[in-house]
Amino acid sequence: FAGNQISIIDVAKGSSEGSLSLDKEHIAWPKIKWSPDGTKLLVTYGSTVRVLDVRAGEWQKRLDFPNSL
């Protein structure tokens, strides 16, 4: 993860499987969690939650929550 991109790296192969851009210029302190089967990646930043289908290389879902502060 760098700036506003997520890069998927296959450690076993030692190769990049691709990268996807987020919709913000810079994301500070994103939270990232893999699904148990390794096919989905949950990314949270600010008040946004996104789900990436790693195999398809496409975002599946996006949830935006209004700031409550």
For 51-65, write each residue's pLDDT tens digit. 988 888 888 999 998
* pTM of the complete model: 0.68
pLDDT at 1 over 60: no
Average of pLDDT values for 9-30? 75
What span, in angstroms and rounded, lies between the C-alpha atoms of 12 and 43? 23
Residue-level pLDDT at 3: 61
Residue-level pLDDT at 56: 86
**30, 36, 46, 35: which is closest to 7 by C-alpha?**
30
Q: What whole-number percentage of the chain has pLDDT above 90?
A: 19
The amino acid occupying position 31 is K
